[in-house]
Structure 1
């Protein structure tokens, strides 16, 4: 048993000398399990237990007034064991969250093809497979498990746009998870969808990409960037890669002979076919460097990181007179928009960008419609007098 803050709450005398406050005085029992004493302005005070699952948010249970710490620990340990039991691995042959998701991916591949199944597979590999949540017995699932799984994925950041994109991504993960669970419901593995029906998406975070940089905006931005940042900006515009994918890329991932770049990121791995301009730029960065060295580096010769580019890009964007909603990720949006507007097939754009054709159609369909209208207007089906 950990010693934690025991000396502060182990006797009635010690507790009587504590200052009243809302936050309990905590004592650690074991990994993830705590018991706390809340000193009140009037009366002796109350006890509370706290437990955090390996993947989820903290859970609390009020224990009320008790004679002492040992009594609180005894009750908290029983409650903690029940929480851990909910997360215990399933016996062989028993459906788990992971097995349900794998079944769904296999059926999705048959029904809708490789692209749709690959998207779901990638989401489950990142958030379900090999996790305590994935190991749960599917029939034992409760809504608070799904809610904790959802909330634990949200990135905490002082940049509202980062949080919005994070929640938007979580919503897509939740959609795939619910689809897998609904498939299991149809297979009668459970009798009700109560465990996930009440867990809703985050509202108002799926806005269509609005920030766009016209050619003149891009020129001003590049002129405002230091040389190392300008190279990163050019690369993102030319490749459709995510910032993190380029940060992960090594020199050895560039295949000069084939004109391709191998990238790895949140959606898995893929080869990007490079334009001539992109290939020239990356060849220059790789020259004279080892295969295991980062392909792109900052001014200190270090691999790029979010902490390294975030503030510097914001400063460059402001110097260029761009709006505050322009972030490094905006460059990927600009590149995709230009490709779609240039008439590149949405399936090819999705393949290069490492996303689904559904996402391209959903967020960039308005660009495709405008381009299609230009082609239609050029066709003389009827004479001008008709």
Structure 2
């Protein structure tokens, strides 16, 4: 139960009695006899995700926990049975108020910006998932400490408003360096997340069937996409003579693409193409999805191709279906 050294001597007995009652109540409700801390719960969840979904999502979780949980002097070593809503709320507030470092060099005074609500949502989602996993495992018998405190901020992402049309995408590709142009062509051809496209290996493409297998994307599921003839030919050419475990899309130096590697080259290509600021690698995914939706493809199929939920597609792109709905209603005129 601990020594309760943080309490004055006259309070230690009462605190010890209260802790013992809480512990036996925990056991009486079927809780684990092992005292599991928040950091232990996070590490167990990372191990679980690595076994079920693979290294990429597990590494992402591990990165978030290392930054926000493992080194937290208050949260990391607290037993789950002693976790309170107030502790979780204080942790969330401190994390949300931590500015984001924009520059990546070693300048003495870093350039920062406020943390976006969408970023906070992603970080609290990781802790919420870890604590829920511990709850399901019986390491803690109630989720009252985080059920409300770790609810995501609604509408934090908003709609994806930056869109570039097909002609603008072609211009961007034309002005990009050759290795980046190939990567941008891939993003313009299939509605994948940039990270998912960058991680594709030659083994993920079946040339005979023109089928691309997306291995455990952010959504956590493998999925297969039947490619049209021109797109399949592009993938076949890129995979030609490549060993199965080599990335399809590689930089000029042979390394795989990642967000730190493509940011500056995309910015340079944007300037050369004289396109609007704010366009990112993710803009191409958004633009492709937008074209699929406005082209009349049903939202379920769009969601399946994109590796996301119908609810997400409806939330961010459903408004684009207004014209199709109006046309359908027009056919009912008597």
For residues 24-59 of structure 1, give each alpha carbon's deviation from its aligned partner in whole angstroms, at most 9, with x where no partner exists. Answer: xxxxxxxxxxxxxxxxxxxxxxxxxxxxxxxxxxxx
Structure number with the higher strand fraction is 1
The answer as to 2:159 corresponding to 1:208 is yes
1:237 alignment partner, SS class: helix
How do 1:147-166 and structure 2 match up within 5 A? 148=91, 151=95, 156-158=100-102, 164=116
User: 2:288 corresponds to which residue?
Assistant: 335
Distance 1:275 1:155, change over 3 A: farther
How do 1:23-38 and structure 2 match up within 5 A? none
CA shift for structure 1 position 136: 7.3
- Alignment check: 8 A CA contact 2:169 2:188 kept: no
CA distance in 1, matches of 2:76, 2:301: 33
2:212 alignment partner, SS class: strand
The answer as to 2:178 corresponding to 1:227 is yes
- Alignment check: 8 A CA contact 2:192 2:306 kept: yes
Q: Which has the larger radius of gyration?
A: 1
Q: TM-score if structure 2 supplies the norm length?
A: 0.64
User: 2:119 corresponds to which residue?
Assistant: 167
- Higher RCO (C-alpha under 8 Å, 6+ residues apart): 2
In structure 2, the gaps of 5 or more residues are: 1-5, 7-30, 46-51, 104-111
What RMSD, in angstroms, separates the aligned Cα atoms of the two structures? 4.4
- Alignment check: 8 A CA contact 1:222 1:230 kept: yes
CA distance in 2, matches of 1:162, 1:292: 40
User: 1:65 corresponds to which residue?
Assistant: none
In structure 1, the gaps of 5 or more residues are: 1-61, 63-89, 103-117
CA shift for structure 1 position 344: 1.6
CA shift for structure 1 position 196: 4.9
Distance 1:224 1:335, change over 3 A: same
- Alignment check: 8 A CA contact 1:339 1:349 kept: yes
CA shift for structure 1 position 309: 0.9
User: 2:82 corresponds to which residue?
Assistant: 140
1:258 alignment partner, SS class: coil
CA shift for structure 1 position 194: 5.0
CA distance in 1, matches of 2:173, 2:113: 22
